[in-house]
């Protein structure tokens, strides 16, 4: 029966999509070529899980647009490939751009703003937390896919067996970390957040830091600030007292597989990765909001993808119709979540129930992980903005973190050099900095 | 000389043309304005990119590092290849042909794959090698210092390429007339004496070529340190000149500066190769 359900659904929605496409092409005003006879072929580049299945579902749902899928190996290759293919004149029509990289990609002129209709749809259907990150400089640049709220995955069986409460504040986290180490010297509460630029950013976002502010045609860059230093001191203490793992990724994976890791902080997308990487721990994991600094629920963004039309695309309408299908229709979300390979929390709140229905939560003991993710998403501070030098910042962080690992400098002192690299890069590129 | 046409065609399309394009790129800069959301436009900056590259401490520093690396790597590489070849040729080693293959085998592994293999071998907690080194030295494993990083990278590159030089030297040794070697033996020269006084001087030409190739290859060091940087804190993102060029082009989105740096680097490599060829004539 499982084979029939998607098929039936697919045929049923084919009509709906054609309607959508017709509706879009009716309202279009700015590009030629889409209204000619025969189907339009567009290309779509992504590394996101299940993207190929999404493309197949879209292609078989309608006859007006044929999407050709190009895969990129990982997020880190995606932006280089996008920039290079654009230079070579072979850019895909639809690109996948994570929130943190959107301003950087824009500053390279790789995207074109969404049409008025599409922008209106984004404004209408998506929450502020997502819109703030895709509406920049008076234009809307992409359709958000997921919110990627930062959450705490934890081993409920281990916490229960020892009668320990899951920490809700960072102070409790430190305390629980000590308890866990006492109970089992070969186990730790989790891995340090100080080796991954993404986790460092999420922690600072949660703590209320604002690294980038765009005001009056100039950026304010404030990576080296009091909040960040204070947060860094906590991270340093956890490592210095050996309360968290500070190993390389491969070893962290081994330890987690061996049950020596009680919690993992990651974005809501991780719900699709845990069941695949730690299959034999099915039923043992649960999800909660991340520990906060104040005791009030607080989360942050951690990754999160959006889809945009590239500057070189000659099929803006078709591209937008495909993107809208992926991010704003039940079928698009269902195709992505199908089979449990992806656990995206749709940024579009109306579609959360769809994802919830399709995603198999048995790995999480049937817990409503989407409810937790929604709660976390609602607790993301909305003021955060990403800057237009994301790849430079990322590399500067990696170089500096290597020094921290080597013990040459304390974590709290790396932010000054990262800020210097970022401001240097922005100035070199002619971007205004206050 | 029409028979040279294919060479000049390929040389022109794949060497001169890209160099010309790099020279063209090096005169421009991509400039945004305001918050940057409007994209970038291309501006002519003359030699501005060259002055900014030549005054960049990271770029100059990368030459220092590659210089130290070459001083360490080249003698070690050539020395190791010579010792292995002479041992194989002396007949002291059992199964010479088999060993020759064994030494050559890593050479067919792409540098990237080799770096990934060694990445694991350099990871504490996973690698048996790290345990052995820690046990032998009594100190903790760390690739944080410059010497440690250089040794870590040179270890991979020597493992990769030593077999290539062994094959070149071995072929050169085969070309030595048998009667010369016999004459040396009749005169009472032992294996070591023959190796040092007859074989080595007679394959000087091959050694010169190998040194030249090794210099050019060593200076272009890129894939190995790029990957190993995640295990060796001593290696940052602009460790070698090629890494600097990559960083400027693909991380900082500054193709003008990257092209300028690449051209300066090409001139330096050209000068080093010329120097090596001159040295061979002495």
Q: What is the mean pLDDT of chain A?
A: 89
The number of folded domains in chain A is 2
Q: Considering only CB atoms, which chain A residues are within 8 Å of B232? A: 402
Closest in B33, B252, B257 to A430, CB measured: B33
Q: Considering only CB atoms, which chain A residues are within 8 Å of B125? A: 247-248, 251, 254
- Do residues A340 and A396 share a domain? no
Report percent pLDDT > 70 for chain B.
98
- Do residues A12 and A112 share a domain? yes
Domain ranges of chain B: 40-281
Domain boundary among A353, A369, A385: A369
Q: What is the mean pLDDT of chain B?
A: 90
CB atoms within 10 A of CB B260: 29
Q: Average pLDDT for residues B197-220, to the nearest whole number? A: 92
- Do residues A275 and A419 share a domain? yes
Q: Does B149 touch chain A (CB under 8 A)?
A: no
Residue A2 confidence (pLDDT) = 36
In a domain, residue A433? The reply is no
Closest CA to B236 of A77, A400, A281: A400
- Do residues A164 and A252 share a domain? yes
Q: Report whether pLDDT(A322) > 80.
A: yes
Q: pLDDT tens across B125-184, in order?
A: 888 888 888 888 777 788 888 999 999 999 999 999 999 999 999 999 989 998 999 999
Q: pLDDT tens across A121-151, in order?
A: 999 999 888 898 999 988 999 999 998 899 9
- Do residues A15 and A88 share a domain? yes
- SS3 string of B257-277? HHHHHHHHHHHHHHHHHHHHH
- Do residues A240 and A348 share a domain? no
Which CATH number is A191's domain given? Answer: 3.40.190.10
CATH topology of domain B40-281: MetI-like fold (1.10.3720)
In contact, B65 and B240? CB cutoff 8 Å:
yes
Residue B281 confidence (pLDDT) = 66
Q: Report whether pLDDT(A29) > 50.
A: no
What's the pLDDT band for A35 if we cut at 50, 70, 90? low
In a domain, residue A234? The reply is yes
Closest CA to B170 of B274, B246, B97: B97
Residue B236: closest C-alpha in chain A: A399
Residue A344 confidence (pLDDT) = 80
- Do residues A399 and A329 share a domain? no
Rounded distance between C-alpha atoms, residue B31 and residue B43, angstroms: 7
Residue B278 confidence (pLDDT) = 85
Domain boundary among A369, A401, A419: A369
Rounded distance between C-alpha atoms, residue A338 and residue A322, angstroms: 18
Best mutation target among A248, A255, A257, A385 (most B Cβ atoms within 10 Å) is A248
Residue A31 confidence (pLDDT) = 44
Rounded distance between C-alpha atoms, residue A100 and residue A387, angstroms: 8
- Do residues A21 and A127 share a domain? yes
3-state class of A49 per DSSP? coil
Q: Report whether pLDDT(A21) > 90.
A: no
Q: Report whether pLDDT(A375) > 90.
A: yes
- Do residues A396 and A254 share a domain? yes
In a domain, residue A339? The reply is yes
Best mutation target among A430, A432, A433 (most B Cβ atoms within 10 Å) is A430
In a domain, residue A331? The reply is yes
| Residue A395 domain boundaries | 150-301+377-428
- Do residues A327 and A277 share a domain? no
Residue B93 confidence (pLDDT) = 66
Q: State the alpha helices, DSSP H only, in chain B.
A: 5-11, 17-25, 48-54, 57-90, 96-104, 111-121, 128-137, 146-174, 178-186, 191-193, 200-202, 204-219, 223-228, 241-246, 255-281
Q: Report whether pLDDT(A358) > 90.
A: no
């Amino acid at each position: 029966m499982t084979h029939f359900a998607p098929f039936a659904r697919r045929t049923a929605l084919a009509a709906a999509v054609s309607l959508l496409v017709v509706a879009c092409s009716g309202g279009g005003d700015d590009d030629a070529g889409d209204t000619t006879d025969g189907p339009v072929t567009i290309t779509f580049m992504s590394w996101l899980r299940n993207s190929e299945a999404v493309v197949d579902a879209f292609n078989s749902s309608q006859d007006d647009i044929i999407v050709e899928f190009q895969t990129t190996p990982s997020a880190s290759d995606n932006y280089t490939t996008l920039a290079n293919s654009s230079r070579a004149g072979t850019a895909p029509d639809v690109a996948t751009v994570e929130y943190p990289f959107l301003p950087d990609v824009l500053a390279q002129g790789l995207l074109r703003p969404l049409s008025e209709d599409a922008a209106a749809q984004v404004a209408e259907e998506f929450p502020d937390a997502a819109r703030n990150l895709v509406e920049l400089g008076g234009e809307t640049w992409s359709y958000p896919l997921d919110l990627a709220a930062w959450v705490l995955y934890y081993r409920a069986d281990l916490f229960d067996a020892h009668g320990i409460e899951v920490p809700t504040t960072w102070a409790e986290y430190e305390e629980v970390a000590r308890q866990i180490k006492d109970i089992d010297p070969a186990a730790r509460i989790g891995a340090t957040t100080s080796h991954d630029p993404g986790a460092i950013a999420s922690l600072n976002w949660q703590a209320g830091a604002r690294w980038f502010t765009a005001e009056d045609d100039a950026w304010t860059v404030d990576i080296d600030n009091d909040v960040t230093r204070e947060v860094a001191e906590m991270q340093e203490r956890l490592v210095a007292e050996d309360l968290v793992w500070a190993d390389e990724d491969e070893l962290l994976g081994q330890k987690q597989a061996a049950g020596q890791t009680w919690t993992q902080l990651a974005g809501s997308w991780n719900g699709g990765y845990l069941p695949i990487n730690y299959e034999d721990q099915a039923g043992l994991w649960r999800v909660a909001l991340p520990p906060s600094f104040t005791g009030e629920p607080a989360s942050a963004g951690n990754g999160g993808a959006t889809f945009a039309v590239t500057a070189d695309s000659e099929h803006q309408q078709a591209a937008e119709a495909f993107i809208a299908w992926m991010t704003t229709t039940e079928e698009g979300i269902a195709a992505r979540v199908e089979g449990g390979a992806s656990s995206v929390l749709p940024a579009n709140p109306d579609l959360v129930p769809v994802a919830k229905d399709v995603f198999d939560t048995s790995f999480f003991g049937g817990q409503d992980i989407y409810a937790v993710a929604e709660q976390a998403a609602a607790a993301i501070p909305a003021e955060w903005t990403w800057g237009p030098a994301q790849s430079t910042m990322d590399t500067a962080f990696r170089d500096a973190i290597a020094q921290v690992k080597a013990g040459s400098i304390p974590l709290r002192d790396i932010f000054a050099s990262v800020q210097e690299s970022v401001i240097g890069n922005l100035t070199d590129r002619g971007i205004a900095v206050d | 000389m029409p028979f040279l046409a294919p060479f000049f065609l390929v040389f022109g399309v794949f060497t001169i043309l890209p160099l010309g394009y790099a020279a063209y790129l090096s005169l421009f800069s991509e400039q945004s304005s305001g918050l940057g959301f409007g994209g970038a436009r291309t501006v002519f900056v003359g030699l501005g990119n060259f002055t900014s590259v030549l005054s960049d401490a990271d770029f100059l520093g990368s030459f220092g590092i590659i210089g130290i690396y070459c001083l360490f790597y080249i003698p070690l590489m050539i020395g190791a290849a010579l010792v292995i070849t002479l041992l194989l040729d002396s007949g002291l080693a059992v199964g010479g042909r088999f060993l020759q293959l064994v030494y050559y085998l890593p050479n067919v592994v792409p540098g990237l794959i080799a770096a990934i293999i060694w990445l694991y071998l350099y990871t504490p907690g996973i690698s048996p090698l790290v345990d052995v080194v820690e046990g032998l030295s009594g100190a903790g494993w760390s690739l944080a210092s410059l010497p440690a990083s250089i040794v870590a990278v040179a270890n991979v590159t020597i493992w990769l390429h030593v077999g290539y030089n062994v094959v070149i030297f071995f072929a050169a040794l085969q070309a030595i007339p048998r009667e010369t070697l016999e004459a040396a033996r009749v005169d009472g020269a032992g294996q070591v004496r023959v190796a040092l006084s007859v074989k080595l001087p007679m394959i000087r030409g091959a050694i010169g070529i190998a040194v030249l190739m090794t210099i050019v290859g060593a200076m272009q060091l890129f894939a190995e340190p790029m990957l190993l940087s995640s295990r060796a804190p001593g290696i940052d993102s602009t460790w070698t000149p090629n890494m600097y060029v990559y960083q400027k082009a693909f991380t900082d989105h500054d193709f003008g500066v990257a092209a300028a740096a690449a051209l300066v680097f090409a001139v330096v490599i050209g000068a080093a190769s010329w120097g090596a060829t001159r040295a061979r004539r002495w």
